Amino acid sequence: MAFPATRLRRTRQADWVRRLTRETRPTVDDLVWSMIVHDGDTPRIPITAMPGVERLNIEEAAKAARRAQDLGIPAIAMFPNIDPSKKDETGSEALNPKGLIPEAIRAMKAAAPDVGIICDVALDPFTSHGHDGLIDETGYVLNDETTELLVKQAIVQAEAGADVVAPSDMMDGRIGAIRKGLEAAGHTNTLILSYAAKYASAFYGPYREAVGSATVLKSDKKTYQMDFGNSDEAIREVAMDIEEGADMVMVKPGLPYLDIVQRISKELHVPTLVFHVSGEYAAIQASAQRGWIDEDRAIVEITSAFKRAGASGIITYNADKLAQMLK
C-alpha cells in the first residue's frame, strides 16, 4: 500500500503501540554473566580498563552466583586471574584440580545450583607468554600438543562440576578431542560451547588486563584466531565443530560481527551465542562517563541488536544490570 493509505509512523506514535508492535525483545533468559575471578584474599579488585567490573575472589564469586540466581540469569561465564608466580611456559596450573577455577566452580555451584557455570578452556591466563597454547622456539603456537592439554583442562573443569566447557583457543580439532575425552571420563552430559568463530580482534585489550596476560603477550594471535575479513571461513569452522560434538557455538566479538551471527543462526540452525567483549564494554563505559551516550539505552539497544541478528544468548559484563532493567 502506498502513502497516505500506509503511514508507518502510526505504530510509532506512542509508547504503548511501540511496545505492542516491537519485533525483537531481549529477556533475562538471553543473558550470560561474564565474570573475572582471582585467587587472592581481597574480595573485589577494580579493573582499570573496565569501569564497573571487578575481579572477584571465590567467596565473592559465590555471592555473585546467588545474585545471578535471584535475578534469573541462566548462566555465568567464568575467567581466571591467577597469581603470576603460578604461571609457566606450559600453563600447568590450568590442570590443577585444586586450582582457582575448580574451587570457584564448587563454591558457585554450592551457592547457586540452578545457575549454569561455563568455563573457559584455554591456556592464556595460565601461561607466562600469554598465548592460548604451547609455543615452539619461534613462538608459533603448537596445535596438537596444545589440544592434549586442553582435553585435560576440560576434564578437570567437568570433574569440579562445570556445566559447560568452552574452548576459546581456536586450535584445529580440539572440539572432537575434548568430546572424546569427556565421554571417556564419564562426563557425557557436559556441554561444549565452542568459540567457533573467534576473530583476531582489537577489542580484547581490556580483557587481557583483567586476566593478567596483557603485560606478557609479546605477539598477536593471528596464526590461530580468525581473520576479520572472512565470513565463509566462519561457517566452515562452525560446521566442523558441530560435527565434532559442540552443543553450542560462539561468535566473538559481538557488534562488528553481527553478519556472522546472522549467517550461522540462519544457515546452520545451531544455538549461537555472541560475546559482547571487553573492548565493546569499555567503549560504552568511556562514552557514558563523558556524557556522550546514555549507557542504559545503549546496552539495551545493543542486546536487542544481538537478538535481532539471531543470537540465542549474549555473554556480557552488563548481565546483572541488564537483568534488572529487562525484568
pLDDT in tens, 142-160: 999 999 999 999 999 999 9
On the question of pLDDT at 200 being above 80, the answer is yes
Which residue range is the domain that position 162 belongs to? 24-326
- Do the domain assignments include residue 134? yes
- Do the domain assignments include residue 199? yes
> Is 307 a catalytic site residue?
no
- Do the domain assignments include residue 159? yes
Query: What CATH number has the domain bearing residue 302?
Result: 3.20.20.70
- Do the domain assignments include residue 19? no
* Number of domains into which the chain is organized: 1
Residue from 87, 109, 221, 252 carrying the catalytic annotation: 252
Judge if the upstream peptide bond of residue 206 is cis by omega within 30 degrees of 0. no
Q: What's the whole-number mean pLDDT along residues 93-115? A: 98
- Residues 104-126 as b/e (b if ≥16 CB within 10 A, e otherwise) read bbbbbbebbeebbbbbbbbbbbb
> Is 252 a catalytic site residue?
yes
- Do the domain assignments include residue 202? yes
% of the chain residues with pLDDT over 70 = 100
Amino acid at 72: G
On whether the CB atoms of residues 118 and 75 are closer than 8 A, the answer is yes
Closest CA to 110 of 57, 53, 58, 32: 58
Judge if the upstream peptide bond of residue 4 is cis by omega within 30 degrees of 0. yes
- Do the domain assignments include residue 236? yes
- Do the domain assignments include residue 38? yes
Please give the pLDDT value at position 217: 86
Residue from 109, 198, 221, 307 carrying the catalytic annotation: 198
pTM above 0.85, yes or no: yes
Q: Is 54 annotated as contributing to ligand binding?
A: no
- Do the domain assignments include residue 192? yes
